[in-house]
Amino acid sequence: MQQYKIDFIKLLVKAKALKFGEFTLKSGRIAPYFFNAGSFFTGELIHELAKAYAGAFLDKEIEVDVIFGPAYKGIPLAVSTTNVLFSEFQKNVSYCFNRKEAKDHGEGNLLVGAPLNENTKVLLIDDVMTAGTAVRESMEILKANGNPKVSGILIAMDRMEKNNDGVSAVKAVEEMFNVPVYSIVNLDDVVEVLHGKEIDGVVYIDDEKMELIKKYREQYGA
């Protein structure tokens, strides 16, 4: 496993962005783990998070002109990732994000950042993917604002779960929009790094938690 993935998984538990226990999701599912990118709220943590996105971006060799971050959580992800790509890897990529409502004064645009047109190659960046609703909204926004070519979608963690239709949430989005979905890590990576191993003196996935994860995946895993 690449070092940036290992570092990212350790960062997830350090930042308490990935927790293990019993959590009720929006879907009503009772999950044995929970991911929350909102936990990356310090300068150090958002920088390390952006390094992980940048690592995945370079590892997958994604060729894009603009990284698009959907409001609201995607905004800091897009801005910080483009910053790290330039400052640490000398790769100059632009960013763009949407407002929830278009301004009725000044430039009056719905989008902020790099201008988009049909020749622009865009990477959509987000934290996780569930039903694909946020992706669908972003695609509609992009189509109505320059109609750029979406080269891919990059998320932090692939939960490797089925959606409500019983198919992989990631595969459903890939097929719906004909774009590849990349992730920094997936659940298999997390289990490999954390199960039965100490991270700063803590075993985050012991055998008991592992059994809960297995049972959950038997029911909802893709």
Q: Is 105 a catalytic residue?
A: yes
Distance between CA atoms of 154 and 68, rounded to whole angstroms?
A: 10
Contact 205, 195 (CB under 8 A): yes
Q: Is 60 a catalytic residue?
A: no
Strands 18-24 and 30-35: antiparallel
**Which member of 16, 91, 103, 171 is catalytic?**
103
Q: Within 10 A of 173 (CB to CB), how many other CB atoms are there?
A: 23
List of residues 6+ apart from 123 with CB closer than 8 A: 57, 62, 64, 66, 67, 68, 150, 151, 152, 153, 154
Question: 181: buried, middle or exposed (CB in 10 Å: 19+, 13-18, 0-12)?
Answer: buried
Contact 172, 132 (CB under 8 A): yes
Based on its alpha-carbon atoms, the radius of gyration of the chain, rounded to whole angstroms, reads 18
User: Which residues belong to the active site?
Assistant: 103, 105
